[in-house]
Amino acid sequence: MNKDKRNSIKVVDCQVLAHYQFEAGQYILTLSSEVIANQTKPGQFVHISVSDILPMRRPISIMSVDKDNATFDLLYKVVGEGTRQLSERKIGDVISVIGPIGNGFEMTENKRPLLIGGGVGMPPMIAIAQSIKHTEYDPFAILGSEVPFPFVEKMANNGKNYQGATHTMPELEEWGIECRLASLQAYQGVFTGYVTDLAKVYLDGLSADERAQVEIYACGPHPMLNVVAILAKEYGLPCQVSLEENMACAVGGCAGCVVEVQTDSGPAMKRVCVDGPVFNAHLIF
């Protein structure tokens, strides 16, 4: 593990303050931790103990933080026994959490961030949106899901219609972040198609000067990120992606989550947990 990370990762006991269930086995978990709430950067994650029965932790991206109340939120989906047991945790339970882990997204001089999140890749995009609300940045967020969204979407206040996409995430709307939703399920007010299709609609609607200020930030399944990287190359845009990988230790010791990255000296294997999870898309795909 890099020396600069040794003191940044903490093991903390976090109390469950809220645990909301949504359709399709989706949950939002609110935990208490002053350390994680204050130290987390968008794109970082925690390694969470799911129960007293299973020793293996699960990596989950941090969706939002509340520094004033020393809490943070996790969005996850039940996909196996571990997350099923996590879904049974009750308010008042204490959960062991390691975090915050990894290199987060770096905001640059490009003032029009295009945030693209698919499925459980939505949380890091929401985290970026929260971190840049009420700043000089002018972001556009695209959230995609093939199951009902884990929030009640609403009509965007500005009334812009992006080929049928008129609905947004209410919390982003409250933060002043323009957002639209995408899905293949033909939900009302939601763009019918892939998140990258909606991204093209947005980019094509910008002037050349506006597009020159765009940088893409994305998280989601690998096939989606691969298409996002192709899209970024097509439009000549910088692009940062957060990779989703199965992890054992999540702190760089086991090297079980390595990916090939192009470097100045040739291909190299990098650990998603501590060398990432955020990478330059053009060096990964």
Q: What CATH number does the domain containing 154 carry?
A: 3.40.50.80
pLDDT (mean) for 51-55: 90
**Domain count for the chain:** 2
Domain boundary among 66, 101, 136: 101
Planar angle of CA 182, 187, 190, nearest 5 degrees: 35
Domain around 204: 112-239
Q: Is the pLDDT of residue 4 over 50?
A: no
Work out the pLDDT band at 1, boundaries 50, 70, 90: very low
Q: Are residues 130 and 19 in the same domain?
A: no
Q: Which pLDDT score is estimated for 154? A: 93
Q: Are residues 121 and 230 in the same domain?
A: yes
In a domain, 265, yes or no: no
In a domain, 49, yes or no: yes
Least confident of 4-8, 33-37, 48-52, 241-245: 4-8
Q: Are residues 20 and 60 in the same domain?
A: yes
Q: Are residues 126 and 232 in the same domain?
A: yes
pLDDT (mean) for 242-267: 86
Q: Are residues 16 and 133 in the same domain?
A: no
User: Residue 80 contacts by C-beta under 8 Å, 6 or more apart in sequence?
Assistant: none
Q: Is the pLDDT of residue 94 over 50?
A: yes
Q: Are residues 119 and 61 in the same domain?
A: no
What pTM value is reported for the model?
0.94
Q: Is the pLDDT of residue 206 over 90?
A: yes
- 117 vs 245: which has the higher pLDDT: 117
In a domain, 215, yes or no: yes
Q: Is the pLDDT of residue 281 over 60?
A: yes
pLDDT (mean) for 20-42: 97
Cα separation, 86 vs 79, in Å, equals 11
Nearest to 113 by CA among 95, 127, 132: 132
Q: What CATH number does the domain containing 63 carry?
A: 2.40.30.10
Q: Which pLDDT score is estimated for 2? A: 42
In a domain, 254, yes or no: no
For residue range 116-138, list pLDDT tens digits in order: 999 989 999 999 999 999 999 99
Q: Are residues 68 and 128 in the same domain?
A: no
Q: Which pLDDT score is estimated for 7? A: 57
Q: Which pLDDT score is estimated for 109? A: 96
pLDDT (mean) for 13-41: 97
